[in-house]
Amino acid sequence: MNRTVAALAGLLTVQLVVAAGLGFARTGPSGPAKQVPLVALSSHKVDRITIEGPNKAKVVLAQVKGSWQLPGLADFPADQTRVKSLVDALGKLTEGLPVATTRDAQTRFKVSDTDFERRVTLSSGGKTIGTVLFGTSPSMREIHARREGQSGVYSVQFASWQMPAQESDWEDKRLLQIPVRDIAAIDVAGLHIVHTEDEAAKAGGAKKGGAKTGDAKARDAKVADAKPNDAKAAAKQPAWQASGLAAGETLDQTAAASLAGSLADLEFDHVLEGAPPADDGLASPVLTLTVTKRGGGNVVYRIGKSKDGKTYTLKSSSRSEYFAVPSFAAEPLIAAAAHDKLLGIKPAAVAAKH
């Protein structure tokens, strides 16, 4: 009897082990839940983004011929890098486990259809890909989100500053900049300042275009007889040269380089919609400056100062718009373009102390 019971018990054990093995083979080991995208962008090319915020704030970004623009601002160029970063970041957001699913929670976390911090709608070819509502922020770089049409509220790694709902925050602030390498000459304060490389190129072109003068022949003879040390000295010639100087005046190389750098770093605050302010000061600008670009073409900058002295308005011949420029950007450029500054002449009050 005991042998029969033992045999039956052993058979039951074998059956249980086999059943467990078959079950494991069918289901496999348990693993983390699949990460579901908050918005599925992998099979779509986003070409339109609508961002809405509190108090009816709204901005639309549209891609035209591969370039992002602001339709609400007469198709003014948007910051391409910032828009791309937004799309990339949104495409990486996943749902995870919901922190809440009730309608009351949607209101509490400010992700309801009528109360939200941001509502972002992504479209492609005129069709909506998805809409996500963003609300309260439980911690730094973390925000509650809900996909429109669903009840689940999730906590995702994102921040509201990455999706501002004002057009001015998406404008390409670097649109008026001219890289130093593209500046051939600057006309300002009665001076014509030319980059040495461009002056040498002009001189070379003149030599090829006609017979050499006596001075040119003498210069060529000196070059032919030049010693290595002379060549090194020639390589150290000033980067900038100026005409329009009075007797005894010289161009300050550091000041000229600083002016070129200011133009390369120039940024505006926002585009002025409609007509410029009546007191923009452009009728008698505090700065008028012309840049000749390598490869041809001139750009004229004019900066006006308001009567109260608090705001500056910029007009560039390369654009039809007027731009508001903050004082911390306008004043250093105005100072860098001053005649005495370019000549390295210190103000009398400063010079008296030295």
d(CA 105, CA 91): 25
**Are 112 and 186 within one domain?**
no
Vertex 122: Cα angle to 121 and 126 (nearest 5) = 110
**Are 164 and 242 within one domain?**
no
Nearest to 69 by CA among 172, 188, 154: 172
* Per-residue confidence (pLDDT) for residue 274, from 0 to 100: 83
Whether 210 is covered by a domain: the verdict is no
**Are 79 and 133 within one domain?**
yes
Beta strand 240-243 with 270-272 is unpaired
Whether 101 is covered by a domain: the verdict is yes
- Using CA atoms, how far residue 116 sits from 133, 267, 298, in Å, is 6, 32, 48
Whether 89 is covered by a domain: the verdict is yes
What is the residue type of 41? L
**Are 145 and 259 within one domain?**
no
Nearest to 105 by CA among 140, 135, 143: 135
d(CA 272, CA 205): 43
d(CA 223, CA 203): 15
Residues 285 and 330: beta-carbon distance below 8 Å: no
Tell me the pLDDT of the chain averaged across its residues: 84
Whether 70 is covered by a domain: the verdict is yes
Residues 135 and 156: beta-carbon distance below 8 Å: no
* Per-residue confidence (pLDDT) for residue 3, from 0 to 100: 57
* Per-residue confidence (pLDDT) for residue 199, from 0 to 100: 60
Whether 315 is covered by a domain: the verdict is yes
Nearest to 256 by CA among 350, 344, 346, 345: 344
Match 């910029």 to its residue by tokens: 314
Last residue of some domain: 114, 147, 169?
A: 169
Residues 171 and 270: beta-carbon distance below 8 Å: yes
Residues 152 and 146: beta-carbon distance below 8 Å: yes
The predicted model scores a pTM of 0.78
Indicate whether 14 pLDDT > 80: no
Residue range 140-180, pLDDT digits in tens: 889 999 999 999 999 999 999 999 999 999 999 999 999 99
**Are 83 and 116 within one domain?**
yes
**Are 198 and 296 within one domain?**
yes
Residue range 195-245, pLDDT digits in tens: 987 665 565 554 444 444 343 344 444 434 444 454 454 445 689 999 999
Whether 18 is covered by a domain: the verdict is no
H helix runs in the chain, sequence order: 2-27, 80-91, 103-108, 196-209, 214-224, 228-235, 253-264, 327-336, 339-342, 348-351
Nearest to 186 by CA among 35, 65, 4, 336: 336
**Are 127 and 243 within one domain?**
no
**Are 143 and 190 within one domain?**
no
Q: Phi and psi (nearest 5°) for 153?
A: -110, 130
Range of the domain at 327: 180-202+238-345
Whether 106 is covered by a domain: the verdict is yes
Report how many domains make up the chain: 2
Give the chain's length. Answer: 354
* 198 vs 83, residue with greater confidence: 83
Whether 13 is covered by a domain: the verdict is no
Residue range 21-80, pLDDT digits in tens: 444 344 444 445 567 889 888 778 999 999 999 999 999 999 999 999 999 999 999 999
**Are 198 and 324 within one domain?**
yes
**Are 114 and 189 within one domain?**
no
